[in-house]
Amino acid sequence: MSPAAPHDYASLDAEGMDTATAYRLLCGVVAPRPVAWITTVDDHGLVNAAPFSSYNYVAHSPPMVAVNIGRRGPGLKDTARNIERSGEFVVNVATLDTLEPMHQSSAEYPPERSETEALSLALLPGRWVGVPRIAITPVQMECRLHAQLSLGPLNTLYIGRVLGFHLGRSVYDGRNVDTVKLQPVARLGGPYYAALGQIFERPVLQAPPGGLAPAAAAGPGPARADARREDPPR
């Protein structure tokens, strides 16, 4: 690959950029993005489910995840309002098998209408929080709000401490989650999603937190059983 020259780029000043343009550019370049299919409960006990792709894990000791939720007009989205009210939510991992109902739950449902009821989604009770989890997802993380941070007039970052993991036996062997079996879906720009494509393996060059030295962590080579399952945290 040859080095690029300045004239090979369109350089856009982000200062004062309108919301629609900034959103479109970020969604196009920050990709693929994992999808958090979040369940919450309102003050009437109604279960809300909605997907968010401005999401990732942000700490491992203790484990924490974060999701950015934009405002809907002058008010909060149902998920944000419920998290702020109760301090509890569940991240259900969206997969190829759950793509359609997950996508359908992104529609604009009125606050008095439960997405899980509208889409006939079976639920399982939470163990650490009072929020149910979606039974068709193979992995769920029960979370308690750790902190929230306003990011300008339209966005709020919600950081949740993971109180517990629910890991389906079809994807979890007692030590590792097999990402290939999990088949997570990711968000791209526009109306597009993505699945796992070609997977590359490289030697582990840094010891994972709390793990073995890089040489030991790498194992005997390509034949090691967990080669495709475990990547060092970044």
| pLDDT tens digit at each of 234 positions of the chain | 889 999 999 999 999 999 999 999 999 999 999 999 999 999 999 999 999 999 999 999 999 999 999 997 888 999 999 999 999 999 999 999 999 999 999 999 998 999 999 999 999 999 999 999 999 999 999 999 999 999 999 999 999 999 999 999 999 999 999 999 999 999 999 999 999 999 999 998 988 888 766 644 443 333 333 434 444 333
Q: Is the peptide bond before 32 cis (omega within 30 degrees of 0)?
A: yes
Tokens of 183: 């088949």
Q: What is the DSSP annotation of 165-228?
A: EEE-TTTB-SS-B-HHHH-B-EE-STT-EE-----------SPPTTS--HHHHHTTSTT-TTTT
| Residue with token string 């309002």 | 81
Query: What local confidence, expressed as pLDDT, does residue 73 receive?
Result: 81
Query: What local confidence, expressed as pLDDT, does residue 208 receive?
Result: 85
Query: What local confidence, expressed as pLDDT, does residue 231 receive?
Result: 43
Look at the chain and count its residues. 234
Tokens of 39: 């369940």
Q: Which CATH number fits domain 11-197: 2.40.128.50, 3.60.130.10, 3.40.30.10, 2.30.110.10?
A: 2.30.110.10
39 within 8 A of 89, measured Cβ to Cβ: yes
In angstroms, rounded to a whole number, what is the distance separating the alpha carbons of residues 172 and 49? 24
Cβ neighbours of residue 96 closer than 8 Å, sequence gap 6 or more: 183, 185, 195
Phi first, then psi: give them for residue 29, nearest 5 degrees. Answer: -100, -30
Tokens of 168: 């389906």
Phi first, then psi: give them for residue 209, nearest 5 degrees. Answer: -55, 125
Predicted TM-score (pTM) of this structure: 0.89
51 within 8 A of 37, measured Cβ to Cβ: yes
47 within 8 A of 35, measured Cβ to Cβ: no
Q: Which DSSP letter does residue 173 get? A: -
Query: What local confidence, expressed as pLDDT, does residue 212 receive?
Result: 63
Dihedral (CA of 187, 188, 192, 194) sign: negative
Query: What local confidence, expressed as pLDDT, does residue 31 receive?
Result: 96
Q: Which DSSP letter does residue 127 get? A: S
Strands ordered across the beta sheet of 186-187: 33-34, 186-187, 193-194
Q: In this structure, which amino acid lies at residue 7? A: H
Break the chain into its structural domains and give their ranges: 11-197, 202-234
